[in-house]
Amino acid sequence: MRLYICEKPSQARDIARVLQANRRGDGCLQGNAVTVTWCVGHLLETAAPETYGAQYKHWTLEDLPIIPSRWQVVAKPKVAAQLKVIEQLLRTCNEVVVATDADREGEMIAREILERCRYQGPVLRLWLSALDEASIRKALAALRPGEQTLSLYHCALARSRADWLVGINLSRLFTLLGRRAGFDGLLPVGRVQTPTLRLVVERDRVIASFVPRPFWTVDAQLQAEGMVFLARWQPPAGSCDDSGRCIDEAVGQRAARRLMQRAQARVSSVDVERVCEGPPLPFDLGTLQEICSAKLGLGAQDTLNTAQALYETHKATTYPRSDCGFLPESMLDEVPRVLHALTASAPSLGQWLKEVDPSRRSRAWNSSKITAHHGIIPTAVALDLDQLSERERAVYGLIRARYLAQFMPDHEYLKTLVLLQSDEDQLHARGKQIQVRGWKAVIDEADGSEPGEPSQRLPTLREGTSLPVLDAVVNAHRTQPPKAYTEGTLVKAMKTIANQVADPRLKQKLKDSIGIGTEATRAAIIQGLIDHGYLAKKKRSLAASAAAHTLIEAVPPEVADPVLTALWEQALDRIESGQLDVETFLAKQAAWLTQLVHSHASLTLRVPAAKGPACPVCRSAMRQRKGRTGTFWSCSRYPDCKGTKPVATSKRTSKPRSS
């Protein structure tokens, strides 16, 4: 009997339907010489510390670090019955097909059960990228040897055990040190969650300490061929900042008066460039989360849940937890079927489909760029869009648009830069004239992901031509702080952690890294920080709580360093590729933890009182201090932040004062 082990009941039903395994059994579906069973996510979990010794029930510094010499797993109580079903089926089968999700965690869900049950028989791998019937049949006809994906299990196992080591040991270490300093709360530390939290805390501090600075622009109205257009005055070097902005209002005002007095500007150069832009790649999960956050206001977990429903429930899109936007060239054969299904599902697409050329090959079609998964695209299932929720329709529309864009003409436009001179004053005018709208017709309307570009259309201008200046206006501006993170931009920051690094050698090393976390885990990490009160959502923006500031203030920089976590992710990639083994990786983590525990166990943390209010300036926790006029609340980050609050009116925000 061949046993298929799936990740979820819904997935098992889809595969069993194709295998004609329609007979219901205890926790399984059976057919002719095949049985399909399912897990409910992970049925096993790493044992708690007290499993390795009764003394670990109590938190003490003397017992740290806790490093198991032989790892143990236990059944999750709520799903123990289903685990027993699979154990019994493994005793009677003569072949196993791992049919869980095609990623690290999916591999681990099945393999940890096989290892626990000491299964020794042959193993095959069903690698699915979509759950429609055609895709399942195609994958069933191309089962892979189990050895090809075994390294995914090793990678997930290393990740799981490293997270356990860091979470158990460092959470206990810093919570105990916090208690010694008078902080009664829990200081939970995670290998990924703490560096992620640090990104938000540091962004909040930059915003809180930001001092806006004024600058001025001068915009002149000129006329040529009966068309009025704008040109911007260029300030001289002595009156502008490093970004070329005029920081002296009087200089700008004098320039505006000179331009109006002369009332003429001569064209000194005209540079016209024809630009052809190909379409953006189909979505990977991180990019989809970023766009859904910006366009639809969806959280990272909401986006993942919706994409998962489109994949599992509606069979409308391919596997969502992908870190790759490219598509294998072997899928070009399916293009006509997919386009036909899209047309059948939404006849209103006809206006766009007129420009679609199924034979067109964008840069997305590149098999050499494919990782474990390809970009998220529609399947050949003809949907009844009315059966989708409003959110599902919106997310499906984004995915569909990116796919259609691959078969539409390039977006072409003329980009013009005109330099003008009025005695000593220089101006420039930028223009854009669209020649071929191409794929922008579908992307602009569907996801709005492209940033706004100057749409000014310039008249035909020639060098040496003198033009009348109709007006010159001085505009006042103020520099703006960086924007607070949203869930989408935080996912992007987690992916592109190299952008946070100043060291050029380390930056280059991290360029190709997947960053902090994985496509499958980032949403859950952010949601966990929100659920535990470390991050708060204000409309679409994320803000760190006082507890979050307390935690980041308490732990040493290396624990919250996102670069260190990204390097760990690179090590996990090496395990996946077979260049590093699990034992070596975990030994390095254990050595690092041992050194960290020993070096910090005798330290006293600077941790503010748990019940202190949040600083009105930077949102960090506050501690009481005594001044000339009595006791007051002072920011725990003093002197970096000088925010204060009176003790008697601590619920009101007062103006920052010197502590």
Q: Distance between alpha carbon 214 and the CA centroid of its chain, in Å?
A: 34
Q: Measure the CA–CA gap between 618 and 636, rounded to whole angstroms.
A: 10
Q: Can you read off the two tokens belonging to residue 261?
A: 């007095």
> What's the token pair of residue 82?
């289903």
Enumerate long-range contacts of 598-603, CB under 8 Å, 24 or more apart.
Answer: 600/173, 600/177, 600/556, 601/61, 601/64, 601/173, 601/177, 603/177
CA 220 – CA 474 distance, rounded (Å): 9
Mapped onto helix, strand or coil, the DSSP state of residue 438 is: coil
* Collapsed DSSP state (helix, strand, coil) of residue 399: helix
Backbone angles phi, psi at 535, to 5 degrees: -125, 140
Distance of alpha carbon 592 from alpha carbon 401, whole angstroms? 47
Which neighbouring-strand residues pair with 365?
327
Pairing label, strands 622-627, 264-277: unpaired
Q: Return the bridge partners of 272, or none.
A: 416
Which residues are identified as catalytic? Answer: 319
Amino acid at 560: A
Q: CA 308, 313, 316: angle at the middle one, nearest 5?
A: 75
Q: In 3-state terms, what secondary structure has residue 649?
A: coil
Phi-psi region of 246 (alpha: psi -120 to 50; beta: other; left: phi over 0): beta
Paired strand residues for 411: 277
Instruction: Report the run of H or E that residue 569 belongs to, with start and end.
Output: helix 562-576
* CB within 8 Å of 95: residues ≥ 6 apart: 1, 2, 3, 121, 122, 123, 124
Buried b (16+ CB within 10 A) or exposed e, 533-553: ebbeeeebebbbbbbbbbbbb
Q: How far apart are CA 593 and CA 564, in angstroms?
A: 13
Sign of CA dihedral 136, 141, 147, 151: negative
Enter the DSSP assignment of 610. Answer: T
Distance CA 345, CA 120 (A): 47
92 burial (CB, 10 Å; 0-12 / 13-18 / 19+) is: exposed
